[in-house]
Amino acid sequence: MNSLKIGVVGAGIGGLAAANALHQAGHDVVVFEQSRQFLRVGADINLTPNAVRALDGLGSSIAAAARASGARPTHRISRTWDSGEETSRLAMGDEAERKYGAPQLTIHRADLLAALADAFPAERVQFGKRAQAIAEQADGVSIRFTDDSEPVKLDVLIGADGIHSVVRTAMFGAESPRFTGVVAFRAVVPTERVKGVPNIQAFTKWWGPTPESQIVTFPLNQGRDTFIFATTAQDSWHEESWTTEGSVAELRGFYGDFHPDARALLEACDSVLKTALYERDPLSRWSSAHMTLVGDACHPMMPFMAQGAGMAIEDGVVLARSLAGIDKPAQVGAALARYEAARLARTSQIQVGSRGNNWLREGGNADWVYGYDAWGVPLEIASM
């Protein structure tokens, strides 16, 4: 079979998941990343069973690496901010694995990226390639970079370039993401320091007095560390960053009235990172005859359902399944439409649901999110 020449813009979780899946499907895949190298930024990723199941099909080395460095939260617990009352408890661990075919894993973002990068041929990732201009023609796409190199001609271009995607702008025009008025604090503390807090090896969400106010904690680095993720409304801070330091005193101030167990977590923090949260509305379509989008490029969302990376991984799998066996550029448009048709309703529902911040507050059925199988979901016949 002839393979398609596919370019993926962006070597984040979505781009590398798609690249692995497309390479596995036999295509000639190149990844273009603007950074000079992989950076160890961020701390956590909470991968729910649907995301881990999608990841598992990308190869045994990825599955093994994710399990070797990830932690497996015992439960998913909701507690009320002031009384500490437990309002829901879902068993995760082995029980989730039995039910959904994969466990929940909480993993350092850089460890997940490394697992995805190690499984993909290194010579097929080009660093220092910032996509600048994209032009679609009848038989493919050409892409130009800021380094003044010759444009590259491709059969398919995948935009995996995050919330500020230039591929998305090339397809649909410029439109800035919206600041949500919410900021997020992230900290990692040694678990030893907070071992007195009940259920410290569980994923626990403290629901605050307003919809934006919450503290989430879960184990990281196989339980040796505890990750703390807190959000609150704050209109005056607009900086979006994985690396900007925040103030621990400010963090503690926001949650000063919370239950002593929640405050004990914040007391253990020496430092904290702070970022503003941005989002966009769902798109009604995101593919053309030779271009499509995955991950935050098409559906950036609030972190309240912890599904952004999971959706990006699922996208990559379904995209590769849609393009499997396709060897003529003229067939690409129908395959991309099939991918989009399989993904659009689910990602839009989760994008809008994440905005609401009430997922599993009082319990409820998580199966439609956690039970999704990206490797088995039916692909409809679609025409352009």
Using the rule CB under 6 A, is 45 a contact of ligand FAD? yes
Give least dist CB 318 to ligand FAD, A.
Answer: 14
Stretch that binds ligand FAD, among 83-91, 157-165, 324-332, 352-360 (CB under 6 A): 157-165
Q: Can you tell me the distance from the alpha carbon of 142 to that of 287, in angstroms, rounded to the nearest whole number?
A: 16
Using the rule CB under 6 A, is 161 a contact of ligand FAD? yes
Using the rule CB under 6 A, is 35 a contact of ligand FAD? yes
Q: Can you tell me the distance from the alpha carbon of 37 to that of 128, in angstroms, rounded to the nearest whole number?
A: 8
Using the rule CB under 6 A, is 307 a contact of ligand FAD? yes
* Residue among 211, 191, 205 at smallest CA distance from 85: 205
Strands 44-47 and 28-32, sheet pairing? unpaired
Stretch that binds ligand FAD, among 38-46, 97-105, 245-253, 262-270 (CB under 6 A): 38-46
Nearest residue (CB) to ligand FAD, 18 versus 335: 18
Counting other chains too, the contacts that 56-62 makes at CB distance below 8 Å and 24 or more residues apart are: 56/102, 57/21, 57/317, 57/374, 57/375, 58/17, 58/20, 58/21, 58/24, 58/116, 58/119, 58/317, 59/20, 59/24, 59/119, 61/115, 61/118, 61/119, 62/20, 62/115, 62/116, 62/119
Cβ contact 180:277 at 8 Å: yes
Using the rule CB under 6 A, is 316 a contact of ligand FAD? no
Which one of residues 4, 23, 34, 120 is an interface residue with ligand FAD (CB under 6 A)? Answer: 34
Collapse the DSSP code of 217 into the 3-class scheme (helix H, G, I; strand E, B; otherwise coil) and give the result.
Answer: strand
Using the rule CB under 6 A, is 125 a contact of ligand FAD? no
Using the rule CB under 6 A, is 13 a contact of ligand FAD? yes
Give least dist CB 311 to ligand FAD, A.
Answer: 7
* Residue among 283, 290, 285, 288 at smallest CA distance from 341: 285
Which one of residues 4, 55, 131, 332 is an interface residue with ligand FAD (CB under 6 A)? Answer: 131
Using the rule CB under 6 A, is 303 a contact of ligand FAD? yes
Using the rule CB under 6 A, is 333 a contact of ligand FAD? no
Cβ contact 290:141 at 8 Å: yes
Which one of residues 49, 59, 70, 162 is an interface residue with ligand FAD (CB under 6 A)? Answer: 162
Using the rule CB under 6 A, is 340 a contact of ligand FAD? no
- By CB under 6 A, the residues from 165 to 224 that bind ligand FAD are 166, 184
Q: Which residues pair with 7 in a beta bridge?
A: 30, 157
Using the rule CB under 6 A, is 59 a contact of ligand FAD? no
From residue 274, alpha-carbon distances to 205, 241, 279, 308 in Å are 19, 7, 17, 18
Residues engaged in binding ligand FAD (CB under 6 A): 9-15, 32-35, 44-46, 129-131, 160-162, 166, 184, 275, 295-297, 303, 306-310, 312
